[in-house]
Chains A and B, each alone.
Chain A
Amino acid sequence: MSDPQYFAPDTVDEAVRLLSEHPGARPIAGGTDLVVATRGGRKELPEALVALHRLAELRDLGVEDDALRLSALVTQAQIAESEPIIGTWTALSDAARLVGSPATRATATIGGNLMNASPAQELGSPLLVHGAQVELLSTEGARTIGVDELWLGPGRTATSPGELLTKVVVPRPQPGSASAYLRLEYRQAMEIAVVGAAALLTVDGGQISQAAVALTAVAPTCILVEGVDELLADAPADAAPFDAAAELAAAQAQPISDVRASAEYRRAQVMVIVERALRMALRRAPDRVAA
């Protein structure tokens, strides 16, 4: 029942060293998942906390020719409001705008969001359709894995205890691409995803050349829907079989029944939300009409 040990390192190297020295330690950024989970006695805090808020090196939001580079402490508010993200990686800003309240968005970070590994996290599906990768650092060195490899189940990741997520790299999409994220919302704000879907379409001369769909809150992790690209590639944008893609998604969803919805309703809503996300992405595609 004792309170945790607490460290607030000034450098990333020091943070990584502390994490390796204290196997029970967890990094903490905004605490909007970690601390909230311990409130009301639901969970214990970890035995040691390595606070990241002083690490200026982890605050960069870099828009580069090849990719968007989001350091771990970039907040949901920054992602929601960044013009380049809104313009090019739109599903990410769609998702970040939906997170909690202004206070939550100002505090919650992308690193914390991803490492909490909730199947309902908003950024998960957008990052999946955009093929993002994460950089992990430990005293052993750095490695990079795809976000699709990061999550193993609710609250579980493929990282080792001493590893710190330092950066998320989101490749610049092909020209002609557009993305969108939508979720089923009971309220207009302060919601948690019951069903969410991200879609990415690349449209060239009125014809779809590439497509991806990912799902939120209907499986143990956010998941990419397999076979969407094969199904939609080469389809004319104005007559693409989005309904078939939605069916594909519903078939791959593994929804559960809980206090928020039944599995049956969730599965039916996957169809609705996926089709809407695809349509929204298409509406945003610059080259959606045949020349």
Chain B
Amino acid sequence: MSPRYPLSMTVNGLDWTVSITAGRSLLSVLRDELGLTGAKEGCDDSECGACMVLLDGQPVNACSYLALQADGRAVTTVEGLAAGSGKVLQEAFLSAGGVQCGFCTPGMLISAHALLERTPQPTESAVRLGLAGNLCRCTGYQKIVQAVLQAADVLAEPQTKQGES
């Protein structure tokens, strides 16, 4: 019988404690223990990015991250993005047509969110590099890139106005 270990983490602002074996990935705990199925499993070598979540604000491929290493830390999944500036991104993805099948979308939004936190006004090239860890087979990326640039503009607006006043 494999030993089990307690894992306490904050997910989308809520505290959770579960007891798991050490081999479990963060993704499997989020999906199977917490019922947060927004993050997806698309590959097994950290190439597709569908599983991406934020760990203490940094993007991480949850499929290849040991859940126990998230102990005491804060996780944000796509389900928690709408609570913050992620909502602007979500709306931009919809209006720009950046969503087709939607399977890459949660990871894409997480990467986009992390990018805009680091670089609020990215160039197109920075957006493309920032999303390089998230594969999309439907869109050809063009409308996703447009959505991120559009969201960056929207998020910049209030600050600009404050600066002007």
Contacts and interface: CB of A to CB of B under 8 A. Distances in A.
Indicate if A touches B (C-beta under 8 A): yes
B133 A100 contact: yes
B46 A100 contact: yes
B66 A32 contact: no
Contacts of A103: 46, 49, 52, 58-61, 111, 114, 133
A6 B114 CA distance: 30
A53 interface: yes
A260 to B, nearest CB: 14
Given A3-B21, A3-B22, A4-B22, A107 B65 contact: yes
A35 B25 contact: yes
A188 to B, nearest CB: 7
Contacts of B114: 102-103
Nearest to A39: B44
Interface in A8-41: 8, 28, 30-32, 35-36, 38-40
B108 to A, nearest CB: 12
B132 A189 contact: yes
Contact of B23 (A45, A100, A107, A189): A45
Nearest to B47: A190
A15 B3 CA distance: 19
B115 interface: yes
Contacts of B47: 190
A107 B132 contact: no
A104 interface: yes
Contacts of B142: none
Contact of A102 (B5, B25, B71, B130): B130
Interface residues of B, number: 34
Contacts of A8: 68-69, 71
B68 A6 contact: yes
Contacts of B115: 102
Contacts of B71: 8
Contacts of A107: 58, 60-61, 65
B154 interface: no
Contacts of B64: 31-32, 35-36, 39
Contacts of A45: 22-23
Interface string A115-148: 0000000000000000000000000000000000
Nearest to B2: A3
Interface string B1-42: 111010000000000000001111100000000000000000
Among A8, A28, A102, A188, residue most surrounded by chain B Cβ atoms (within 10 Å): A102
Interface pairs A-B: 6 shortest CB-CB: A101-B133, A189-B132, A6-B22, A40-B44, A3-B2, A39-B44
21 contacts: A3-B22, A6-B3, A6-B66, A6-B68, A32-B46, A32-B61, A32-B64, A35-B65, A39-B63, A40-B44, A40-B45, A51-B68, A51-B69, A101-B111, A102-B59, A103-B46, A103-B59, A103-B61, A104-B133, A106-B60, A107-B60
Interface of A: 2-6, 8, 28, 30-32, 35-36, 38-40, 42, 45, 49, 51, 53, 100-104, 106-107, 188-190
Given A101-B134, A102-B133, 19 more contacts: A3-B3, A6-B3, A6-B68, A32-B64, A36-B46, A39-B64, A101-B46, A101-B59, A101-B111, A101-B132, A102-B115, A102-B130, A103-B60, A103-B61, A104-B46, A104-B61, A107-B58, A190-B132, A190-B133
